[in-house]
Structure 1
Amino acid sequence: MKQGITLIILFMSMMTLNGQPLAKHQWKDRLILVFSNSPGDSVATEQLERFREDTAAVKDRDLLIYRITPAMVNGPGGQQETTSEWFYKYYRVGKDEFNIILIGKDGGEKLRSEQLIQPEKIFDLIDTMPMRRAEMKRDKQGSKQ
């Protein structure tokens, strides 16, 4: 039984961002990855617009958003050097599919959807995470001082 648990922990640790194009974000940022088949994809554009409507909530939760198409990776700093091929393979997304994936600060995948999703659903999920709860507690204590 101990060996099985050890293997699960080892596997989970391999699924984090260490050594990958997004490793610089681990333990600092939460990520939203929006995959679509083209930059003009209306579903992806609508999803991104929903996040733009509540930039304060996005910023408060340390969320950074990446738009990924077969031709490009467009992140918070503009177009990225990394090719999109890595993202499609690593996250097992078809190049003709819409997907939205939430990555936690620990580098683990927290949510995946093939349909548009309300940002509030993602915000609510993040707010239940232990790291986020600690952040909110710390922020609340800081505002009392």
Structure 2
Amino acid sequence: MKTSIICQILYLTMVLLSSKFYGQDLSDHKWKDRILIVKTLNTDSKKYNNQLTEFKNSIKELKERKLVLYKINKNKFSFVNYTESALNYSGNVSDNLSKNILDENENFEIILIGLDGQIKIQQNKILLKEEVFKIIDSMPMRKNEMRN
């Protein structure tokens, strides 16, 4: 009996951990975080590295706007939570994200997803941080956040 309970707990723990490390569910962020996805097929890509550099010294502004980042290289990702670094993790890109959001034919992509879970911008050129902040700051929910 005791062994059975321990086995069940271990199994449940493995299932929960594997779901975190082998896929991501963007709906977990709905109404909590805005999502930036920066995708490349080659981490040596100049566009990819310039895009990441664009946000490097803007941690305060990213936190303020509730932004989290998914850096995607082929079928691997790393997640960056600017507010709680203990929540950062990495794993494999889920089929759902790969098929429904990412353009597999593009070497570089940046995608902004709002609090409502809707794609606000998706492009294959570098997105300046000022543009991102301007887009977010024009959203009704962000205007409400700034008023409060």
What TM-score bracket applies, with the shorter chain setting the length? 0.7 to 0.9
Gaps of 5+ in 1: 1-19, 139-145
Residue 67, structure 1, aligned to residue 78, structure 2: no
Q: Which amino acid is 2:36 matched to? A: I
Q: Give identity over the alignment, percent.
A: 31
1:129 is aligned to 139
Distance in 1 (CA, whole Å) between partners of 2:28 and 2:102 is: 21
1:50 is aligned to 54
* Aligned residue pairs, count: 118
- Greater radius of gyration (CA): 2
Cα deviation, residue 84, structure 1: 4.7
Distance in 2 (CA, whole Å) between partners of 1:90 and 1:32 is: 16
TM-score, reference length from structure 1: 0.74
- Distance verdict in 2 for CA 1:96–1:130, change over 3 Å: closer
Distance in 1 (CA, whole Å) between partners of 2:97 and 2:46 is: 21
Cα RMSD between the aligned structures? 1.6
| Poorly superposed stretches of 4+, deviation over 6 Å | none
Gaps of 5+ in 2: 1-23, 81-87
Query: How does 1:25-104 map onto structure 2 within 5 Å?
Result: 25-76=29-80, 77-80=88-91, 82-104=92-114
Contact in 2 for aligned 1:72/1:84 (Cα 8 Å): no
TM-score, reference length from structure 2: 0.73
Distance in 2 (CA, whole Å) between partners of 1:85 and 1:99 is: 17
Q: Which shifted more, 36-45 or 98-107?
A: 36-45
